[in-house]
Amino acid sequence: MKRLRIGLQGVGKIARDQHIPALRGSDAFELVACASRNATVEGVANFHDLAAMLEGRPDLDAVSVCTPPQAHYEAVKMALKAGKHVFLEKPPCTTLREFEELVALARVANRTLFQTWHSRYAKAVAPARAWLKDRTLRGGRVLWKENVRQWHPGQSWIWAAGGFGVFDPGINAISILTEIAPAPVFVRSAMLQVPSNCQSPIAADITFVTDAGAAIVAEFDFREEGHQIWTIELSTDAGVLELKNGGADLTINGKEIAVPDEAEEYPRLYGRFADLIRAGACDVDARPFQLVTDAFFVGARRLVEPFED
Ligand code: NAP
C-alpha cells in the first residue's frame, strides 16, 4: 500500500529521539519534509516554518507537530486548514479553549486529529488498565521525579508561561492515571513550587480524589539528581498495583507481571495514527490537560529559589 507522506514541524529533542526514527522505520508513513527555524534533516525537503512547508509540499497527507505547547494551537490550526491529518505531541496546547477549538476544527475539516499521550503506549499500561477495570480503588501514590537538566537541557520554553514546568513530565503520569483508574479522578488540592525567576513550577504536590473518597497523592519534582522515579502505585480491594519506569513494568501484590512484548511507544503511536486516518477518525482526550489546569487553578503557590540551567 502507498505510504502516507508526512512532514514534521519542530526538529528538537523529541523529533530526533523518537519521531524521525519511528517514521524512518514505518511502513505506513514516508517522512518527506521538515520545518525548523534552525535545524535541517538529511534526505527530506527542509523548510524554515510550517507555512513554507505546506506551500512547498502541497502533496503532504499529514503533519506531525513536535514543537513546544505554546506553538501547538497555531500549527495544528494551520495544518488542518490546509487539509492535512495531524499528529499532535503532548501537552496539546496551553488553554482548554484552544483544545476545544482544535477538536472542532478537525471535525469541520474532516481530518484526523491524533492528540497523543505517548506514555499511554508504554508496555504495561494496557495490562494495568485491564487488571484495574473491575477493582475498587482505595488510594494511591504517584511519584514522578526527574532531573530537568538531564531531560530538558536548555529548554527555556518549559519555564515560560504556558510551558507547564514540572507538569510537562507530570502530565504523562496523569495521562496514565486517567487511562487506568477504574473511576474518574478530580483535583482536590495542589501546592506548586515556582522558582522566583520562572513562570512555571519546578515541583508540585497534588491530591487527586475519586467520588468514592479514594485519595491519590502525587509528587512531581524536576530537581531529582539521584535515581529517577516514574511510578504509580494504586491500592484496591484486590491488592496493590505498581506501574514502574514510566509504565514499562508492572507489579501486582509485589509480584512482577510479564507484559506483552509490544513495539516501543512511538512506532505504536504512528501505527495508531495510520489506523485513525484509514478509519476517518480522531483520537483526543482532554482529561489529563483538564486536571493540570485544575491543579494550576486551585493550587497554592510557593516561590522557591531561582532556577539556572
Ligand atoms: P525542544 O527540543 O525544545 O524542541 C522544540 C522544537 O520546536 C525545536 O525544533 C524548536 O526550534 C521548535 N520551537 C521551539 N519554540 C517554538 C516556537 N515558539 N514556534 C515554533 N517552533 C518552536 O523540545 P522537545 O523536547 O522536542 O519537546 C517538544 C514537545 O514534545 C513538547 O511539547 C514536549 O512536551 C514533547 N515531548 C518531549 C519529550 C522529550 O523527552 N523531550 C518527550 C515526549 C514529548 P527550531 O524551530 O529552532 O528548531
Please state the atom number of ligand 1 nearest to the C-alpha of residue 50. 20
- Is it the case that residue 45 has pLDDT exceeding 80? yes
Site of grid cell 484496591: 236
Pocket perturbation via mutation, ligand 1, pick of 13, 70, 156, 174 by most ligand atoms within 8 A of CB: 13
- Is it the case that residue 261 has pLDDT exceeding 90? no
- Is it the case that residue 287 has pLDDT exceeding 90? yes
Angle at 119 between CA 159 and CA 268, to 5 degrees: 130
Model's pTM, two decimal places?
0.98
Closest protein CA for atom 19 of ligand 1: 71
Q: Which pLDDT belongs to residue 1? A: 72
Instruction: Label residue 213 left, alpha or beta by phi (over 0 means left) and psi (-120 to 50 means alpha).
Output: left
Q: Which of 90, 133, 145, 244 is catalytic?
A: 90
For residue range 131-189, list pLDDT tens digits in order. 999 999 999 999 999 999 999 999 999 999 999 999 999 999 999 999 999 999 999 99
- Is it the case that residue 228 has pLDDT exceeding 80? yes
- Is it the case that residue 260 has pLDDT exceeding 90? no
For residue range 13-36, list pLDDT tens digits in order. 999 999 999 999 999 999 999 999
| Residue 57: partners with Cβ closer than 8 Å, 6 or more residues away | 5, 7, 32, 33, 45, 47
Closest protein CA for atom 29 of ligand 1: 68
